[in-house]
Amino acid sequence: MRHALEYVNHMLRLYASNCGKQGNFQKEIDRRNFQTVEKVLNDLPEWDRNVIIEVFRRNGPIEYTVQEVSKKFGVDLDVVWTVLSKTSRKIAKERELI
């Protein structure tokens, strides 16, 4: 399960760095991962989607980026972690990683 969630983090970073652009990926797997993340994020409330994209658009360890984003949005760390956790699980299930 841990490896699946690490892979989902990779997928989210790919999405965050390419969102708003037409996915012109050289690898089919990158295109499928992008589409999976997009599908799940499009079903989320806008606030949740913005938080996730903001976390994964930043460089650095996720613990640090979550802390920065919680300050930026004025919410407790636990709120950001909960949004990330629930969304990561949805993506992993959608991609059949778990």
pLDDT in tens, 56-87: 999 899 999 999 999 999 999 999 999 999 99
CA distance 73 to 55: 11
Read off the amino acid at residue 96: E
Average pLDDT across the chain, whole number: 92
Question: pLDDT class for 23, splitting at 50, 70, 90?
Answer: low
Which of 65, 60, 86 minimizes the C-alpha distance to 77? 65
22-55 CB burial, b ≥16 within 10 A, e <16: eeeeeeeeeeebbebbeebbeebeeebbebbbbb
- CA 15 to chain centroid, in Å, comes to 7
